[in-house]
Every structure is written in C-alpha cells, then in structure tokens.
Amino acid sequence: MNSAALMTIAATGFTVAFFHAVLPTHWLPFVLVARARGWSRAKTLMVTLAAGMGHVALTTLLGLLIAWFGFQLDERLGHAFPWIVGGLLVGIGLYYFLRQLRGRGVCHHPVPGSHHHATEACGRDEDHSHWEHELEESELVSSRRGDWTAISGLFLLLTLSPCEGFLPVYLSGVRFGWHGFVVLSVILAVATLAGMTLVTWLALFGLDRFRVQRFERWEAATIGALFCVLGVLIVLLEH
C-alpha cells in the first residue's frame, strides 16, 4: 500500500474522530456543569481537555490491541488481508446504516451519579433537554459536592466511553505497521481534542445555538458511508 492509501485512511480517521468529538455528548455536560458551578472558561476548558485525553488514551489502548491482532493476521493472510479488511469495513459501514434506519443514530452515555435511566432515543431535537434533565439529578451539579467530584465524574463519563467509530480505522492501517499506528493515534488525539475544546469554547461564549444535535441524528449514517468508501478504497489502492 502506498502513501495515498495512508492519507486516505488518515483523512477518514480525522473526519470520524472530529465529527464524533463535536457531538453534544462530548461537550454539553461540561458546559452545563460549568454554568451550574460557576466555573471560569479557563477551568472548564482544562477539565474538558483532561477528559478528552482520557477518552483518547482508552481508545488508543484498544487500538493497540486491534493493531497487534491485525499484524498477526497480516502475516498469515498476506495479499488476502486488504480484501478481508475492506470487506470488514464495508460490513461495519452497513451495520451503521442499519442503526440509522432503526432510529439509533447515536446513543448517549449515562451521566455518573444520576438516577435517570438514559434511553436509546437518538437524534431527536430534545437532546439538549435530555442532558439538562439528567444532569439536574446528578451529583455533578450538586453544591453539596466538591469540584473534584464533578471533575472526576466528567472524566469517567468520557474516559469509559471510547470512540468506537475510530477502532476500525486502526485495523485499516495495519499494513503500515507501527508507523501507521502512531500516525493514526496522533490523528485521533488532534481531531478529538480540537473538536471538543473548540465546541466547548464556542458554547461558553453563548454560541451553542447552532444546534449540533441536528448533525448528531445522522452520525451513524455518516460514519457508515465513510467506512464503506474506505473499505472500497483500501482494496482499489492495494491493487
């Protein structure tokens, strides 16, 4: 595989990671908790950045396991490996399309300390009220708890929910060895942290009315399309 293939994989990975990072699940809880507790903008952005690093770290660790497994398969399968990876990516893409058709375009992560049972009603216009209602019942905004309780809860909220959409991207870069793994890990970190901090910063300035949830409802379809295209390109670029 040549540099064009790596650039294609990297561009796809950046799109998936950035699009995932700007969804309300990755910034709205920080903004709501910050407003409830009276945090400064600088403190809110620092907490967001720290939680984003935890999110990236766990995703990278899972990507490491996938890459190692992929290296073993590559040695055993040889020239058949790109066909298998391409087919797998197309299959994953179709799975995301199926999720979209079933009305499960994106699913929220439960808020720590909340007694509200999160549903899988995804991509609705009332997504903001869903988070506000759940956070109102959470210890994250309770004045009886210290800031470290809120910070720890936000950190766990994001760290324990890795970017599942990026994991197939690691598999597609197996042919480039550890060099490809490092490149994709950097792409994941840059796209995720940039997306989270940018949208959080905009929201803190009152610019959260651009209603990102309208894009959120099509998350599964968008990722599905990217994976289908990437799967086909991997096979074409290989040959």
The set of residues, in sequence order, having a beta carbon less than 8 Å from that of 227 and lying 6+ positions away, is 12, 89, 90, 92, 93, 96, 168
Q: In the structure, what pLDDT confidence band is assigned to residue 213 with cuts at 50, 70 and 90?
A: low
Report the candidate in 17, 16, 46, 22 with the shortest Cα–Cα distance to residue 34: 46
Buried b (16+ CB within 10 A) or exposed e, 27-52: bbbbbbbbebbebeeeebbebbeebb
Q: What is the pTM of this model?
A: 0.78
Predicted confidence at residue 212, as pLDDT, reads 55
- CB count in 10 Å sphere of residue 174: 22
Predicted confidence at residue 45, as pLDDT, reads 95
pLDDT (tens digit per residue) in 70-106: 888 888 877 787 888 888 888 988 988 888 888 765 5
Looking at the predicted structure, is the pLDDT value of residue 134 above 60? Answer: no
- Whole-angstrom distance, CA of residue 233 vs CA of residue 239: 10
Round the average pLDDT of the chain to a whole number and report it: 79
Q: In the structure, what pLDDT confidence band is assigned to residue 122 with cuts at 50, 70 and 90?
A: very low
The set of residues, in sequence order, having a beta carbon less than 8 Å from that of 102 and lying 6+ positions away, is none
Average pLDDT for residues 2-24, to the nearest whole number? 86
pLDDT (tens digit per residue) in 44-77: 999 999 999 999 999 999 999 999 998 888 888 7
The mean-pLDDT minimum among 36-50, 59-73, 147-161 falls in 147-161
Top pLDDT among 38 and 144 is at: 38
- CB count in 10 Å sphere of residue 181: 21
Looking at the predicted structure, is the pLDDT value of residue 129 above 90? Answer: no
- Whole-angstrom distance, CA of residue 18 vs CA of residue 169: 13
Look-up: residue for tokens 């956070």? Answer: 135
